[in-house]
A and B are shown apart, each in its own frame.
Chain A
Amino acid sequence: MRVLVAMSGGVDSSVAAAMLRDAGHEVTGVTLKLWGGDSDSGCCSVADVEDARRVAQQLDLPHYVFNLTAEFDDRVVDPYVAAYAAGRTPNPCVECNRSVKWGLLLERCRTMGFDALATGHHARVVRDEGGRAWIARGADAAKDQSYVLSVLGGDVVVDTMLPVGDLTKAEVRARAEALGLRTATKAESMDVCFIRRDERTTFLRSRVPQAPGPIVGVDGAPLGEHDGVAGFTIGQRRGTGVAAGERRYVVDLDVGTATVVVGRREDLLRDRIDLVGLTPTHDPIPDGTSVLVQTSAHGVPVVGTLEATRVHLAEPRPRVAPGQVVALYDGDRVIAGAYAG
Chain B
Amino acid sequence: MPTPIVVAVVPVAHGPGAVDLGSARGRLPIDNAAHRLKVPVAVRRAGVRRGIGPYTPDPMPPADPARAYLDHAASTPPHPDVLAAVPGWLADHGANPTGMHTAARAAKRALEEARERIAAVLGCEPGEVVITGGGTESDNLAVKGTVRAARQAGDPDRTVIAAFEHRAVLGAADRLAREGSEVALAPATPSGTIDLDRLAELLDERVALVSVMTVNNEVGTRQPLAEVAALVRAHAPRARLHTDAVQACTWVDADAYAEADLVAVAGHKVGGLRGTGALVVRGGVHLLPEIEGGGQERDRRAGTPDVVGALALALALEGTAAARPAEATRIAGLRDRLLEGLFAEIPDLVLHGASEHRVAGFAPIGLPGCDSESLLVLLDLAGVDASAGSSCASGATEPSHVLTAMGVDPGTAKGALRLTLGWSSSDRDVDRVLEVLPGIVRQLRGGA
Contact = CB atoms under 8 A, between A and B. Distances in A.
Interface of A: 28, 30-31, 33, 46, 49-50, 53, 62, 64-67, 69-70, 108, 111-113
B396 A67 contact: yes
A46 B376 contact: no
Given A49-B394, A64-B380, A67-B397, 6 more contacts: A28-B381, A50-B394, A62-B380, A64-B376, A64-B395, A111-B374
A46 B391 CA distance: 13
B152 interface: no
Interface stretch (B106-114, B244-252, B425-433, B440-448): B440-448
Nearest to A36: B392
A28 B377 contact: yes
Contacts of A66: 373, 396-397
A53 B443 contact: no
B393 interface: yes
B394 A113 contact: no
Interface string B367-387: 000010110111011000000
Contacts of B446: 111
B4 to A, nearest CB: 56
B57 interface: no
Interface of B: 371, 373-374, 376-378, 380-381, 392-399, 443-444, 446, 448
A67 B400 CA distance: 12
A112 B378 contact: yes
B444 A65 contact: no
A70 B399 contact: yes
Contacts of B399: 70
Contacts of A111: 374, 443-444, 446
B395 A113 contact: no
Given A64-B373, A108-B371, A33 B381 contact: no
Nearest to A63: B395
Nearest to B372: A67
Nearest to A110: B446
Contacts of B392: 33, 67
B374 A112 contact: yes
Nearest to A104: B371
11 contacts: A49-B394, A66-B396, A66-B397, A67-B373, A67-B392, A67-B397, A69-B396, A108-B371, A108-B373, A111-B444, A112-B374
A70 B398 CA distance: 10
A33 B394 contact: yes
Contacts of B448: 113
Contacts of A112: 374, 377-378, 443-444
A254 B152 CA distance: 57
Nearest to A30: B377
Nearest to A114: B377
A51 to B, nearest CB: 11
Contacts of A113: 378, 443, 448
A108 B377 CA distance: 11
A108 B396 contact: no
A112 B380 CA distance: 12
B146 to A, nearest CB: 30
Contacts of A67: 373, 392, 396-398
Given A28-B381, A108-B371, A112-B377, A65 B396 contact: yes
A31 B397 CA distance: 12
Contacts of B398: 67
Most A-side CB within 10 Å, residue of B371, B373, B381, B394 = B394
8 nearest interchain CB pairs? A67-B396, A33-B396, A49-B394, A65-B396, A65-B395, A46-B394, A66-B373, A64-B377
A62 B381 contact: yes
Nearest to A32: B396
B397 to A, nearest CB: 5
A66 B399 CA distance: 12
Nearest to A69: B396
A49 B395 contact: yes
Nearest to B381: A62
B393 A46 contact: yes
Nearest to B377: A64
A65 B398 CA distance: 11
Contacts of B373: 64, 66-67, 108
